[in-house]
Amino acid sequence: MFKYILGRIGAMLLTLFLVMTLSFWIIRLMPMSIFENPEVSPEIQKKLEDRMHLHEPMAVQYFYFIEGIAVRGDFGTSVKIRPGLDVFEILSTRIPATVVLNAFSLILSIPLGILFGSWAALKRNKWADNIISFWIVICISVPSFVFASLLQYFLTFVWPLFPTLYNAQASNFGAQLYSMILPIIALSLNPIASIARYLRGELIETLSSDFMLLARTKGLTQGEATMKHAFRNSLVPIANTIIPMITGIMGGSLVIEKMFAVNGMGGLLIDSILAGDHFLTVALLIFYSAISLFTILVVDISYGIIDPRIRVGGRA
Amino acid sequence: MKKLTSLFLALLLVLTCVQVMASAEGGAKVYRSYMGTDCPTLNAQNSVQTSLDTPTSYCGAFLYRAVPDEDGGNFHYVGDIAAELPVQVDAVTWNIPLRKEACWANGDPINADTVVYSFKMLLDPLLVNQMADFLADYNIKVLNAKAYNQQGTENTVAWEDVGVKKIDDYTVQIITDGEYTQTQVCSQFTNRATAVVYEPLYEAGMNEDRTMTTYGSTLDQYMCAGPYKFDSWVFDHAQTYVRNEKYWMPELYHYDTVEIRIIPEMNARVELWEQGMLDDLSPDANTIETYIDDPRMVEYSSLTIFHIDVNCANPANPLSSSVNYRRALYYAMNREVIAESIFGYQEPAGWYVNGQAGLLSESGLTYRESEYGKAVVDKVNSWGPAGYSPELAREYLAKAYEECNLPADTVVTLHMAFDESDTAWKATAEYLMEEFPVIFEGKLAITIDTYAGISTTEYKKTTDSWDLSPNDWTRGASRTYPYTCFYYYLESYGSHPNNYFDAEFEAQYAVCESVKDDYEAMLKETQKLEEIYIDKVIHIPMVQAVSYQMFSDRLVLPVTTYIPGFGWGTMFGDIAE
């Protein structure tokens, strides 16, 4: 297992390097000038581009980029979004709000998703199952910004119970969190529905399997049999859904963060691409790739922990 | 069920109480506004983002400030760091005495060294600050400033040769390359780029080869000196300013706190406005309909004239170099429909000098209000409403066909290219797609090319096969010198937008520049320049942008009307008790 993990980490680093290289070339090939602006004289624009080696051949620019990373650990500084700031310093200021928003969204989503999924499975084809299934379809098919708009309209305007926007300057964390309730709810509805849908399907299949009949005949109650046997078996495929959610909490949500003015990661990548902030864009792509690769690794390893029968790379 | 209902009601009660407590302000005068995007930096020397205007005007210090007249009818300049208005020594030399009491928010003094250092850094040839031109060559030209700024590492111009001198600890001298009025000198030094910078932090943020400084990147790396100082800055979220107790003219300002939220979404702004949590709101094209009859709504012409660039060198278009073809296009634009119905409550414009241009005239009238500007408007309207005349359009297209030896049955398809996210221009293009075949009896058709993620200038570098391209470039300097609207169409401008060069036009621009010291003569020459522009159809003017704004009832504005170049003076406003 240890060798397997080491191998995976090695492959991860190689993939990251390829992502870094590809990102650099693709972003730099975009037909745009970083300093293009009618209010800045063309002479100044040219001098700024010269200073950043933008008139050099791409291979030379790539050399400067790799040299910066290898020699100084320097991924570059932002030139448009936050001029002069190190790109990872920018990321570090944006991640906390996104992490809080997504973490609380997950804290809400996982238990509620499991609760609704189990309830629907146990009450299969009864009114509770029908209502939950209908709600699942709505939550999965309707984009989160629609719910966000409705929440914002009804709960801040018609019935002003919550602040319209997130308040990062609130005097304490509780007040901050209070202003984040609506975006948390808006972000949670889809994950709740996804978890509930998967769990319902898995649990129904497990509950009707032979070993559950055996468990009941051994004298276990329906609840005991479900909790001890059905749940664990059903969690294996659910892990595939939940774990990426956990590791993806730093990704941010473009629309929800914009709507509630949350100063998180959402939209930073698009802003940097549109602004032509190449160094920041490449840094963000590396960051997102690292998260994705780490997620895949965690999912693979977690299979072995959740289900001991799965031992990737272990002895036969 | 009863328990559940009781629990739910109790929860609502708690939430309502929390909301009420959170909104309590405690009697302080708080001005609450918003911006769509945050400032990338607080270093006003190196960012062209207009969002920087707000923090710099509240928290920065300049040589001069524009302040409202007592009757609110106009504005005038007063010394900010300067102790009095500039004193003319000779035709090109101005002495600026400084206040001895001026200081930074931490108490450090501001003196001639501070001003000279700030200007030297702004013009520094290695730093290449994006706003350098706003000191070197804007309303006035500072002697040798541009040459110093653009010399790179060549060292051909010494700092001592630049027209910025320290006379003594509290006097700065500015030497220009021509004659200017006192008002023009003052206006140059109200620009945000000329705000003084705090040397210790500026130097601390400098990299080894002195090509970049992190000054202003965060609050720790910025020093306030204006009437307000930063209380907090959460990037992309909010800026809060409180009174700077060290500021030397506190009587001009009335708010205790200024809260600026960063709100990218229009819907959220509207909701906050409706809840009374914002003191101003600028409705966009989608929300203007809701508020157009609101008595709080005020409007003014902005600096922008939306226009369409015509590619004069499209190899695929046999008509592209014909002036008659461009004239045909000019007359074919029904600007009233496009401005009022498509852009929404805007004004049609068959001319290019904007409604704010020329505000420093002695009469107080803008160029458009002057006899020269009106003469152009009258001429344009004599052809049809805002220049729209299908008959003339057909007549000139026939001439263009003849000029280019095109058979009468030739159909030319024009490629109209624009950013795919631009809904107003998309609707305009679709409207013209229907109109052109009717007006030109099937000879001209329009097809749409869209692009995304790149600027129009960059798109034009990728292809020559475009014919019409919407644009909204505007020149801030046109507020003072109306003729500078045409700056981007000179051969000398690098990112030329339409492949059109005209000797007569260039020569007339040079005439305008040569008489800029004589305001009346300059306005008169600008009229000639605008007439050449219309006659040659250097591009097609379409819509004068009109900005709409609403102010809350609790906000007391210092002016009675919008003043071009000054605005509503909201930073000098007050909060009604």
Q: Is B360 helix (H, G, I), strand (E, B) or coil?
A: coil
Per the CB < 8 A criterion, the answer to whether B545 and B339 are in contact is no
Say what percent of chain B tops pLDDT 70. Answer: 94
Confidence band of A316 (pLDDT split at 50, 70, 90)? very low
Report pLDDT digits (tens) over B50-72: 899 999 999 999 999 999 999 98
Using the beta-carbon criterion (under 8 Å), do B274 and A157 form an inter-chain contact? yes
Question: Which residue type sits at A303?
Answer: Y
Amino acid B518: pLDDT: 83
Average pLDDT (A298-309) is: 72
A167 CB neighbours in chain B (<8 A) are 22
Q: State the CB neighbour count (10 A cutoff) for residue A60.
A: 11
Report the distance separating Cα A37 and Cα A46, nearest Å: 12
C-alpha dihedral, A150 to A154 to A160 to A166, nearest 10°:
0
Chain A nearest C-alpha distance from B237 (Å): 6
Using the beta-carbon criterion (under 8 Å), do A45 and B212 form an inter-chain contact? no
Residues in B 113-132 with any Cβ partner in A closer than 8 A: 128, 130, 132
A76 CB neighbours in chain B (<8 A) are none
Using the beta-carbon criterion (under 8 Å), do B237 and A168 form an inter-chain contact? yes
Report the distance separating Cα B94 and Cα B115, nearest Å: 15
pLDDT reading at B113 higher than 70: yes
Per the CB < 8 A criterion, the answer to whether A109 and A191 are in contact is yes
Token couple for A236: 């294996």
Higher pLDDT, B219 or B47: B219
Report the distance separating Cα B145 and Cα B162, nearest Å: 5
Tell me which residue in B128, B218, B488 faces A44 most closely, judged by beta carbons: B128
Question: What is the overall mean pLDDT for chain B?
Answer: 91
Report the distance separating Cα B321 and Cα B319, nearest Å: 6
Chain centroid to Cα B80, Å, comes to 23
Say what percent of chain B tops pLDDT 90. Answer: 71
Say what percent of chain A tops pLDDT 90. Answer: 25
Chain B nearest C-alpha distance from A224 (Å): 29
Using the beta-carbon criterion (under 8 Å), do A84 and B213 form an inter-chain contact? yes
What is the DSSP secondary structure assignment for residue B141, as one 8-state letter? B
Confidence band of B261 (pLDDT split at 50, 70, 90)? very high
A175 CB neighbours in chain B (<8 A) are 22
Tell me which residue in A43, A93, A156 faces B271 most closely, judged by beta carbons: A156
Chain A nearest C-alpha distance from B117 (Å): 20
A91 CB neighbours in chain B (<8 A) are none
Token couple for A26: 């693709």
pLDDT reading at B19 higher than 70: no
In this structure, the strands spanning B412-419 and B444-451 are parallel
Report pLDDT digits (tens) over B411-456: 999 999 999 888 899 999 999 999 999 999 999 999 999 988 777 8
Contacts of B136 (CB under 8 A, 6+ apart): B123, B142, B145, B146, B149
User: Which range has highest mean pLDDT (A303-312, B108-117, B480-489)?
Assistant: B108-117
Average pLDDT (B511-531) is: 91
Amino acid B24: pLDDT: 47
A29 CB neighbours in chain B (<8 A) are none
Tell me which residue in B214, B274, B455 faces A84 most closely, judged by beta carbons: B214
pLDDT reading at A43 higher than 50: yes
Q: CA angle at residue A58 from A56 to A60, to 5 degrees?
A: 65
Tell me which residue in B212, B217, B454 faces A32 most closely, judged by beta carbons: B454
Chain A nearest C-alpha distance from B110 (Å): 26
Amino acid B91: pLDDT: 92
φ and ψ of B233, to 5 deg: -145, 105
Report pLDDT digits (tens) over B467-498: 999 998 888 778 888 999 998 888 877 667 77
Report the distance separating Cα A170 and Cα B22, nearest Å: 9
Token couple for A183: 């975006």
Per the CB < 8 A criterion, the answer to whether B222 and B42 are in contact is yes
Token couple for A242: 């939940």
Q: What is the DSSP string of chain A?
A: -HHHHHHHHHHHHHHHHHHHHHHHHHHHTSS--TT--TTS-HHHHHHHHHHTTTTS-HHHHHHHHHHHHHHH----B-SSSSTTSBHHHHHHHHHHHHHHHHHHHHHHHHHHHHHHHHHHHHTTTSHHHHHHHHHHHHHHHS-HHHHHHHHHIIIIIIS--S-SS--TT-SSHHHHHHTTHHHHHHHHHHHHHHHHHHHHHHHHHHHTSHHHHHHHHTT--HHHHIIIIIHHHHHHHHHHHHHHHHHGGGT--HHHHHHTT--SSTTHHHHHHHHT-HHHHHHHHHHHHHHHHHHHHHHHHHHHHH-TT--TTS--
pLDDT reading at B213 higher than 90: yes
Domain boundaries, chain B: 30-271+552-575, 301-547
A37 CB neighbours in chain B (<8 A) are 48, 130
Using the beta-carbon criterion (under 8 Å), do A165 and B232 form an inter-chain contact? no
Amino acid B15: pLDDT: 54
Using the beta-carbon criterion (under 8 Å), do B495 and A32 form an inter-chain contact? no
Report the distance separating Cα B94 and Cα B178, nearest Å: 12
A165 CB neighbours in chain B (<8 A) are 261, 263, 268, 272
Report the distance separating Cα A165 and Cα A156, nearest Å: 9
φ and ψ of B171, to 5 deg: -140, 130
pLDDT reading at B180 higher than 70: yes
Q: Please state which of the ranges A88-102, B227-241, B426-440 shows the lowest mean pLDDT.
A: A88-102
Chain A nearest C-alpha distance from B141 (Å): 15
Chain B nearest C-alpha distance from A222 (Å): 27
Using the beta-carbon criterion (under 8 Å), do A38 and B475 form an inter-chain contact? yes
Q: What is the CATH number of domain B301-547?
A: 3.10.105.10
Please choose, from the candidates B109, B45, B550, B32, the residue with its C-alpha nearest in 3D space to the C-alpha of residue B288.
Answer: B550
Per the CB < 8 A criterion, the answer to whether A243 and A295 are in contact is yes
Using the beta-carbon criterion (under 8 Å), do B40 and A165 form an inter-chain contact? no
Chain B nearest C-alpha distance from A77 (Å): 10
Average pLDDT (B319-342) is: 95
Average pLDDT (B231-237) is: 92
B263 CB neighbours in chain A (<8 A) are 165, 261
What pTM value is reported for the model?
0.81
Say what percent of chain A tops pLDDT 70. Answer: 92
**B48 and A CB contact within 8 Å:** yes
Residues in B 135-174 with any Cβ partner in A closer than 8 A: 149-150, 152
Q: Please state which of the ranges A40-49, A180-189, B153-162, B427-436 shows the lowest mean pLDDT.
A: A40-49
A262 CB neighbours in chain B (<8 A) are 237
Residue whose pair of structure tokens reads 């969002």 in the numeric block:
B51
Report the distance separating Cα A164 and Cα B347, nearest Å: 34
Report the distance separating Cα B450 and Cα B448, nearest Å: 6
Is 3.40.50.2020 the CATH number for B30-271+552-575?
no
CB burial of residue B533 (10 Å; 0-12, 13-18, 19+) = buried
Using the beta-carbon criterion (under 8 Å), do B262 and A263 form an inter-chain contact? yes
Chain A nearest C-alpha distance from B25 (Å): 13
Q: State the CB neighbour count (10 A cutoff) for residue B257.
A: 16
3-state secondary structure B85-114: CCEEEECCEEEEEECCCCECCCCCECCHHH
B473 CB neighbours in chain A (<8 A) are 38
pLDDT reading at B312 higher than 80: yes
Question: What is the overall mean pLDDT for chain A?
Answer: 85
Q: What ipTM score was computed for the predicted complex, to two decimals?
A: 0.76
Average pLDDT (A244-251) is: 68
Amino acid B6: pLDDT: 61
φ and ψ of B322, to 5 deg: -85, 130
From residue A135, give the alpha-carbon distance in Å to each of A138, A144, B238: 5, 14, 37
Q: Please state which of the ranges A56-65, A262-271, B17-26, B439-448 shows the lowest mean pLDDT.
A: B17-26
Report the distance separating Cα B173 and Cα B96, nearest Å: 6
Report the distance separating Cα B14 and Cα B2, nearest Å: 18
Using the beta-carbon criterion (under 8 Å), do B493 and A42 form an inter-chain contact? yes
Q: Please state which of the ranges A238-252, B175-189, B444-458 shows the lowest mean pLDDT.
A: A238-252
User: Which range has highest mean pLDDT (A78-92, B224-238, B466-480)?
Assistant: B224-238
Report pLDDT digits (tens) over A110-155: 999 999 999 999 898 999 999 999 999 999 999 888 999 999 989 9
Contacts of B10 (CB under 8 A, 6+ apart): none
Amino acid B244: pLDDT: 97
Long-range contacts of A38-45 (CB under 8 A, 24+ apart): A38/B473, A38/B475, A38/B488, A38/B495, A39/B48, A39/B475, A39/B476, A40/B48, A40/B130, A40/B133, A41/B133, A41/B494, A42/B493, A42/B494, A42/B495, A43/B150, A43/B494, A44/B128, A44/B130, A44/B132, A44/B133, A44/B149, A44/B150, A45/B494
**B272 and A CB contact within 8 Å:** yes
φ and ψ of B269, to 5 deg: -60, -45
Average pLDDT (B8-24) is: 53
Report pLDDT digits (tens) over B341-361: 999 899 999 999 998 888 767
Q: CA angle at residue B97 from B93 to B100, to 5 degrees?
A: 160
Using the beta-carbon criterion (under 8 Å), do B488 and A163 form an inter-chain contact? no
Amino acid B11: pLDDT: 59
Chain A nearest C-alpha distance from B534 (Å): 22
Report the distance separating Cα A47 and Cα B252, nearest Å: 41
Among chain B residues, the shortest Cα distance to A159 is held by B16
A45 CB neighbours in chain B (<8 A) are 494
Average pLDDT (A213-240) is: 82
Report the distance separating Cα A301 and Cα B320, nearest Å: 65
Contacts of A206 (CB under 8 A, 6+ apart): A212, A229, A230, A233, A234
Residue whose pair of structure tokens reads 């910078």 in the numeric block:
B197
How many CB pairs below 8 Å do chains A and B form together? Answer: 144
Using the beta-carbon criterion (under 8 Å), do A162 and B15 form an inter-chain contact? yes
Among chain B residues, the shortest Cα distance to A153 is held by B271
Q: What is the DSSP string of B229-284?
A: EEEEEETTTEEEEEE-TT-S-GGG---SEEEEEE---HHHHHHHHHTT--SEE---
**B214 and A CB contact within 8 Å:** yes
Using the beta-carbon criterion (under 8 Å), do B205 and A84 form an inter-chain contact? yes
Tell me which residue in A33, A83, A152 faces B46 most closely, judged by beta carbons: A83
Confidence band of A291 (pLDDT split at 50, 70, 90)? confident
Using the beta-carbon criterion (under 8 Å), do A261 and B493 form an inter-chain contact? no
Chain A nearest C-alpha distance from B103 (Å): 27
Report the distance separating Cα B335 and Cα B426, nearest Å: 15
Q: Which domains does chain A have, with CATH numbers?
A: 94-265 (1.10.3720.10)
Among chain B residues, the shortest Cα distance to A264 is held by B236
φ and ψ of B374, to 5 deg: -65, -35
Mutate to test the interface with A, among B50, B265, B460, B479 (most CBs of A within 10 A): B265
Amino acid A2: pLDDT: 78
C-alpha dihedral, B102 to B107 to B113 to B115, nearest 10°:
-50
Burial B85-112 (b: 16+ CB within 10 A, else e): bbeeeeebbbebbbbeebbbbeeeebbb
Amino acid A298: pLDDT: 80
pLDDT reading at A228 higher than 90: no
Token couple for B311: 């590619």
Higher pLDDT, B352 or B9: B352
